[in-house]
Amino acid sequence: MRVSYSPQRPTALLGPETLPGPFSTASLPGPLPGPFSGSFPGFFSRAVAPVGILPPQPTRPYDVIVVGAGVAGLAASKRLRAEGKRVLVLEASARVGGRALSDNKRFSVPIDLGAGWLHDPKNNPFLPFVEKGGTAPANSMFTQLLFVNGKPATAEERKAFDRVHDGLEKALQREARAGHDVSAGALLDKKERFASSAGAVFGAFESAREIDETSVMDVGIFGAGDDLFVKKGIGNLIEAWGKEARVKLRTPVDSIHYDEGGVVVRTKTGEVYQATTAIVTTSTGVLASGAIRFTPKLPSETSAAIKALPMGLMNKVIFEFDDRANAVFAKIPDNTGAIFHDDDGAPVAFVLRPHGKNMAIGFVGGENAWRLEKLPVKDLKALMLGKLTSAYGPTLAASVKASTVTQWGKNPFTRGAYSAADPGKADARQTLADPVAGRVFFAGEAVAGPEDNGTLRGAYRSGEAASKRVMAQLAKDARKVRLPHHPALIAA
Ligand SMILES: Cc1cc2nc3c(=O)[nH]c(=O)nc-3n(C[C@H](O)[C@H](O)[C@H](O)COP(=O)(O)OP(=O)(O)OC[C@H]3O[C@@H](n4cnc5c(N)ncnc54)[C@H](O)[C@@H]3O)c2cc1C
């Protein structure tokens, strides 16, 4: 059976044969309203990324419709196009790159609002795309400096923190290697004074969820290696890497109908497209919200996998200071990670002096991030600045020259920072990778392996893997189409 679609609305059904040549912005709706138009420069407002001219159009539907032009969607579409497949990429926002997003305007250097580090650079597919000398070593574990209740830790306090932190790290690795998919919090002695901050290094700051809600498999095998900052911004790097992919921007997908004949994809902008397969790369936050309606409903195991991979939240609060802060920053090595333990509250973390600048990138994660995202932006800035001034003195408060706050939880196209498996459910990532009816394929950071989940590399690899699965399916379909010419049939 072929995919059915309404014959009464033939002009609305767009295959490659009816799509206007260049994807132009002229016919597209204006910027979508969103809570980030202020704090996410460029997310909705940037001019549409460069797009190419479509080649002469065949009269068949697309082979693949890719939903989302983040790293996973771009990786999948690049691979499929290189294999000669007809691909349409539909992206809800006004730019490519998704959660890789640089702020190029507010600060004296590009600052990443989403992904900030290239993890495990030797095995990172994006390192070759960084220009020579364009990276700087970074310590993403936040533990170089420790502040306790606003003051530098004493030697005793440091020792006590390290004991809990290092013990937890070892236990996580041991249990993960043994395949014990339990709560990471179960390995933490909660009676220890520094349990909250040592736990947050692996929970709130790494998996963006509380340590009790974090699967050992998500953090115990995670292959962080040495991390690198990208001087010109990871968001800029990914946009440049993805720029040759033809993407229809500002086109949120509304529903996907699938059956054995293929898929019909409808957008909120009123367009309808058909294809043989679809690769859906939106976050599990978007999937769980029901923003994309699937008909028929997704199989129960797929829905359960989405539910088992909820989004954690990590937000950044970024400050740049003027020359009055020189004396403070002169004493801090570039890219220093600092954790602020609070006996009575949730810990926060900072990267101090990123790129050698008078800057501080603050991090709030897990439950604390969801709670603080509800505050007015100025209150969150004041809270984080208060942490810095308690540690480094009031000059910092007087010398702020630029600041911003991310709100990834309120972003309708992500609904969180990245996925974190419920303890005991880490294999949901694999389940989500299983094709639905040979028509709908999922990719994205949530569909990545234990050493990769929640990362750019994981998203890239999942996009590549989904494109291979799609190609296998297309090859299978092609064999089916040739069936009438099978010798046995001709003989009959
Ligand atoms: C604060 C933060 C810090 C991070 N730090 C790091 C880090 O240091 N290193 C690292 O490797 N990773 C980091 N990550 C994670 C990394 O950014 C993600 O894993 C990766 O970018 C996800 O790529 P993706 O393609 O899976 O998803 P996305 O980038 O979310 O791409 C999905 C795309 O789908 C679009 N979309 C949504 N809904 C629809 C719809 N209905 N129709 C069409 N399109 C839609 C979205 O707009 C988006 O462009 C961080 C993320 C955040 C938020």
β-pairing verdict for 145-148 and 151-152: antiparallel
pLDDT for position 223: 61
- Going from the Cα of 55 to the center of ligand 1, the distance in angstroms, rounded, reads 29
For residue 146, give every residue at least 6 positions away whose Cβ sits within 8 Å of its Cβ, in sequence order, or none: 152, 153, 157, 158, 161, 197, 338, 339, 341
Q: Does 408 sit in the ligand 1 pocket, CB within 6 Å?
A: yes
β-pairing verdict for 227-230 and 135-138: antiparallel
Q: Does 235 sit in the ligand 1 pocket, CB within 6 Å?
A: no
pLDDT higher than threshold 60 for residue 9: no
Which ranges of 293-338 does DSSP label H, i.e. alpha helix?
300-307, 326-330
pLDDT higher than threshold 60 for residue 488: no
CATH of 10-96+245-309+419-483, one of 3.30.1490.20, 3.50.50.60, 3.30.460.20, 3.90.226.10: 3.50.50.60
pLDDT higher than threshold 60 for residue 141: yes
State percent of the chain over pLDDT 70: 84
CA angle 191, 315, 232 (to 5 degrees): 125
List the structure tokens of 226. Answer: 């040495």
Where do the structural domains in the chain lie, given as residue ranges?
Answer: 10-96+245-309+419-483, 141-223+314-405
- Going from the Cα of 234 to the center of ligand 1, the distance in angstroms, rounded, reads 12
For residue 300, give every residue at least 6 positions away whose Cβ sits within 8 Å of its Cβ, in sequence order, or none: none
Give residue-wise pLDDT tens across range 378-413: 999 999 999 999 999 999 999 999 999 999 999 999
The DSSP code for 240 is H
- Going from the Cα of 166 to the center of ligand 1, the distance in angstroms, rounded, reads 30
- Going from the Cα of 155 to the center of ligand 1, the distance in angstroms, rounded, reads 39
pLDDT bin (cut points 50, 70, 90) of residue 60 is low
pLDDT bin (cut points 50, 70, 90) of residue 226 is confident
pLDDT for position 481: 57
pLDDT higher than threshold 50 for residue 115: yes
- Going from the Cα of 310 to the center of ligand 1, the distance in angstroms, rounded, reads 14
pLDDT higher than threshold 50 for residue 127: yes
pLDDT for position 231: 92
Atom in ligand 1 nearest the alpha carbon of residue 457: 11
CATH fold of the domain at 141-223+314-405: Polyamine Oxidase; Chain A, domain 2 (3.90.660)
Q: Does 74 sit in the ligand 1 pocket, CB within 6 Å?
A: no
In degrees and rounded to multiples of 5, residue 139 shows phi and psi of -115, 105
As a whole number of angstroms, the distance between CA 126 and CA 268 comes to: 32
List the structure tokens of 317. Answer: 């609060």
Give residue-wise pLDDT tens across range 335-377: 999 999 999 999 999 999 999 999 999 999 999 999 999 999 9
As a whole number of angstroms, the distance between CA 351 and CA 324 comes to: 19
- Going from the Cα of 455 to the center of ligand 1, the distance in angstroms, rounded, reads 8
pLDDT bin (cut points 50, 70, 90) of residue 225 is low
pLDDT for position 14: 47
pLDDT higher than threshold 90 for residue 41: no
Pocket mutation for ligand 1, best pick of 28, 95, 418, 442 (most atoms within 8 Å of C-beta): 418
pLDDT bin (cut points 50, 70, 90) of residue 449 is confident
State percent of the chain over pLDDT 90: 77
- Mean residue pLDDT across the chain: 86
| pTM attached to this predicted model | 0.88
Strands (E) in 301-389, as ranges, are 311-312, 314-321, 336-341, 348-352, 359-365
Cα end-to-end span (Å), the chain: 23
As a whole number of angstroms, the distance between CA 270 and CA 272 comes to: 7
Give residue-wise pLDDT tens across range 243-266: 877 899 999 999 999 999 999 999
pLDDT for position 176: 94
The predicted model gives 144-149 an average pLDDT of 96
